[in-house]
Amino acid sequence: MWKPGARELLHAVHAAGVPAALVSSTDRPLTEIALDTLGHELFAASVCGDEVVHPKPHPEPYLTAAALVGANPEQCVAIEDSPLGIASAEAAGCAVLAVPSEVAIEPAPTRSVRDSLTGVTLLDLAAMVRSWSDARTEPDGQHT
């Protein structure tokens, strides 16, 4: 279930006091089983597919998660492995770290793509937010 490096990154995020949310298309009962394995304590919130009116690729799941942890979506990094999840996160305004599972995902100004989470640090996540913010800013300094 864990992607390489995911456990270490999640623990580093938690230890730094950065709120993490699990955003899943899966229904709550199955997500609870996953959280039993992953560790409920590592997530400040979770949003499941059966808890939103508009599931992924709509931005609602990520907008809901950001609201639950008191964050601006534009200051969030979504770690995703699917095109639907990436579309949802990007539509919500999140920077995206894509770690493909079964479908190839291309890099874009709104996302970074890596083969695994091994070696990804909090500094890397912060750089992704800055990069995404810069990509949204027009040359005259106005946000698009």
pLDDT tens digit sequence for 64-108:
999 999 999 999 999 999 999 999 999 999 999 999 988 899 888
Q: Does residue 24 form part of some domain?
A: yes
Overall domain count for the chain: 1
Q: What pLDDT does residue 136 have?
A: 67
Q: What pLDDT does residue 5 have?
A: 92
Q: What is the DSSP letter of 22?
A: E
Give the DSSP letter string of 87-142.
Answer: HHHHHHT-EEEE--SSS----BTTEEE-S--TT--HHHHHHHHHHHHHHHB-TTS-
- Asked if residue 141 has pLDDT above 60, the reply is no
Q: Does residue 66 form part of some domain?
A: yes
Q: Does residue 144 form part of some domain?
A: no
The answer, as to whether pTM is greater than 0.75, is yes
- Asked if residue 30 has pLDDT above 80, the reply is yes
Give the chain's length.
144
Q: Does residue 86 form part of some domain?
A: yes
Show the domain range for 35: 6-136
For 88, half-sphere exposure in the C-beta direction (CA atoms, 13 angstrom radius) is 26
Task: Calculate mean pLDDT across residues 4-28.
Answer: 95
- Asked if residue 14 has pLDDT above 80, the reply is yes
Averaged pLDDT score across all residues of the chain: 91
Q: Does residue 108 form part of some domain?
A: yes
| CATH assignment of the domain containing 131 | 3.40.50.1000
Task: Calculate mean pLDDT across residues 53-74.
Answer: 97
Q: What six digits make up the tokens of 97?
A: 């770290």
**Is pLDDT larger for residue 3 or for residue 43?**
43
Compute the distance between CA of residue 73 and CA of residue 65 in angstroms, rounded to an integer. 9
Q: What pLDDT does residue 86 have?
A: 96
Instruction: Choose among 69, 102, 68: nearest CA to 85.
Output: 102
Q: Does residue 120 form part of some domain?
A: yes
Q: Does residue 1 form part of some domain?
A: no
